Structure 1
Amino acid sequence: MTLKDLPPDARPREKLLARGASALSDVELLALLLRTGLAGKSVLHLAQELLDTFGGVAGLLHTGADDLKRIKGLGGPAKRAELMAVLELARRALTQQLTEQPAFESPGAVKDYLQLILGNRAHEVFAVLFLNAQNRLIAMEELFRGTLTQTSVYPREVVLRALHHHAAAVVLAHNHPSGSVQPSRADEALTQTLKTALALVDVRVLDHVIVGRGKALSMAEEGIV
């Protein structure tokens, strides 16, 4: 079934043009990109399957071409290429937003960016956003990976990477694959350790963001940093 087979008032394209993109659900927006479904499966059902498989829009944005290839209906290179191009544009848009304006003029953008990068990981990842004196993003690096329950983070390596980027400040980040974004005592202790280490080279720790699926917590907003 294609989108043309739907009643006019249920077609995502007509709905978008009449009411704006914000009026469409995630499924409808994705269906617009896919355009066609499969025999016995509408394009809307295919879009829903994609979102369910990869954990919503945030998970889909972190999906690679090989993962998409395994979804029946996305075996053709043309459709996969179009979808990957749109996903990459979304990633680059968020990155550009953080490089062109001070990160903390829009704290929500920082959380969105980190959810995009870390929110769908099956293992724990510790990352650092390196910022210049105007709090604009210089680079984001994933420095350490761990098991599902713990990550070993070496302060010396974080300091060296901050010096390499000539960073004036950093935002620390890691994900909780369990989904909970509540900081543990170990998270709080690590934050203080890194603050002390980075202060020795005059680099400020502005925040430590914990990311789960579809949500993120700022330790600075919680008064912990």
Structure 2
Amino acid sequence: MRGKNEKFGHRERLRKRFLMSGIAGFHDYEILELLLTYVVVRKDCKGIAKELLGKYGDLYTLLKQPEDELKKNSFVTDRTVVFFKVIFQILEKELYKKIHNEKITISSNVQLLNYLEYSLLKRDIEVFKVLFLNTQNELLKEEELFKGTLDRSTVYIRELVKKILDYNAKSVIIVHNHPSGSLKPSQSDITLTQKLKDTFERIEIRLLDHLIISEKGYFSFLEGGLL
């Protein structure tokens, strides 16, 4: 009986801690543990959280797993899968749809930066993400198109242009991460950005910004005078 009370008390303390300060100071496993307390009954959620993160690496990668993959894990029930997928859908498709300013000042768009950091940090390779926007700067679509060190051999400009036309986008923001932590754009980053800008201008598409995301923050080509 005492053990059950201790577990119940731990869950309540975790929830109260979140209500008092948000996720500041939470480890990834504690965030996942908190989520699991709502769908896993009478089990050690901390142990399950650590096991899942040990397998998938980070929360984002876990949440984006398909249903069949999630169900391979102990204690992941249909209820848990639905819970995870709802959270992932909210993150991916609902919270960050609108980008309001015609000329985007990235530093004022806290939600966008938080989202990009959440989806790109802790990736062990460079990921090239594209945000496709309409004339009102509303997000039409977002895709991770390329992976690996960015240069003209890995970023296929023709494929990117085709995506822009398919989505009827009028402007784009391109984003990639630097797993090394450096925020300094490489010469390849600068060359690629200029090449994309020139290509887009020929088809009347605006390149609003190119962002580099790392553990140290972000670098904006627009704010840095490179675009």
User: Normalization by structure 1: what TM-score?
Assistant: 0.71
Q: CA RMSD in A?
A: 3.8
CA 1:121 to 1:63, structure 2 compared with 1: closer, same or farther past 3 Å?
farther
Secondary structure of 2:169 counterpart: coil
Distance 1:34 1:115, change over 3 A: same
Distance 1:68 1:177, change over 3 A: farther
Deviation, structure 1 residue 70: 4.7
Deviations 1:77-114 (A, max 9, x none): 332332332232232333xx333744836433333333
Distance of aligned partners of 1:122 and 1:86 in 2 relative to their CA distance in 1, 3 Å threshold? same
Name the structure 2 match of 1:80.
Answer: 81
Aligned length: 218
Query: C-alpha distance in 2, partners of 1:214/1:88?
Result: 27
Whether the 8 Å contact between 1:132 and 1:167 is mirrored in structure 2 is yes
From the superposition, tell whether residues 136 and 148 of structure 1 become closer, same or farther in structure 2 (CA, over 3 Å): same
Question: Of 136, 158, 170, which residue of structure 2 is paired with 1:156?
Answer: 158
User: SS state of the match for residue 173, structure 1?
Assistant: strand
Unaligned runs of 5+ in 1: none
| Distance change (3 Å), C-alpha of 1:13 and 1:115 | closer
Matches within 5 A, 1:29-44: 29-35=31-37, 36=40, 42-44=44-46
Q: What does residue 175 of structure 2 align with? A: 173
For the structure 1 residues 68 and 120, does the alpha-carbon distance in structure 2 shift closer, same or farther, using more than 3 Å as the test? farther
Aligned to 1:138: 140
Output the CA distance in 1 between the equivalents of 2:49 and 2:25. Answer: 13
Which structure 2 residue ranges, 5 or more long, are not aligned?
A: none
Question: Residue type matched to 1:133 in 2?
Answer: T
Distance 1:200 1:181 in 2: 29
The alpha-carbon deviation at position 67 of structure 1 amounts to 4.5
Which residue is equivalent to 1:195? 197
Report what 2:91 is aligned to.
90
Rate the CA distance shift 1:196–1:141 in 2: closer, same or farther, 3 A: same
CA contact under 8 A between 1:61 and 1:91: conserved in structure 2? no
Asked if structure 1 preserves the Cα contact closer than 8 Å seen for 2:23 and 2:31, the reply is no
Question: TM-score under structure 2 normalisation?
Answer: 0.71
Which one-letter code corresponds to 1:113 in the other structure? Y
Cα pair 2:183 2:216 within 8 Å, conserved: no
1:50 aligns with 2:52: yes
**C-alpha displacement of 1:187:** 1.0
Q: Which amino acid aligns with 2:88?
A: L
> Aligned partners of 2:88 and 2:4: how far apart in 1?
22
Deviation at 1:194, TM superposition (A): 0.6
AA aligned to 2:197 is K
What SS does structure 2 have at the residue aligned with 1:98? coil
Whether the 8 Å CA contact 2:126–2:178 is kept in 1: the answer is: yes
**Shift in CA distance, 7/38, structure 1 to aligned 2, threshold 3 Å:** closer
1:147 & 1:22 partners in 2: Cα distance? 31
Letter in 2 for 1:159: V
Shift of residue 141 of structure 1? 3.3
> Equivalent residue of 2:98, what SS?
helix
